[in-house]
Amino acid sequence: MIALDSRPRLAAKARIRFDRKTARYLLLYPERGLVLNPTAADVAKLCTGEHTVHAIVERLVEKYAPQPRDGVERDVMSFLATLTERGLMQADP
């Protein structure tokens, strides 16, 4: 369960890479990959285990101003939950 004070990081089997041909970031894991849209890539790149979810949301609210914080937080939490369910994200307390 990822909370606002969790520090999410990619699972050991997952890597984020930039594909020059498609100009998209991909989240790669064994035999599969996720082609990320720009905001998903922004979130994934910040999941280093250093930043809390709260801090990640703040960075994105700043980047995408004047987007309301509530919507960004909801979307980020939902995205992180999806990646966690797939075993691609883990959260340090």
Task: Count other C-beta atoms under 10 Å from residue 27's C-beta.
Answer: 22
| Residue number, 27 or 90, with CB nearest to another protein | 27
Cα(84)–Cα(68) distance, integer angstroms = 25
Residue 18 in the binding site for another protein (CB under 8 A): yes
Tokens (6 digits) for 17: 């890479």
CB of 84 to another protein, least distance (A): 13
Tokens (6 digits) for 29: 């894991």
| Out of 10, 25, 89, 91, the residue judged to bind another protein by CB under 8 A | 25
CB of 12 to another protein, least distance (A): 17
Cα(20)–Cα(39) distance, integer angstroms = 18
Interface ranges with another protein (CB under 8 A): 17-20, 25-28, 31-40, 42-43, 45-46, 59-60, 63-64, 67, 71-72, 75-76, 78-79
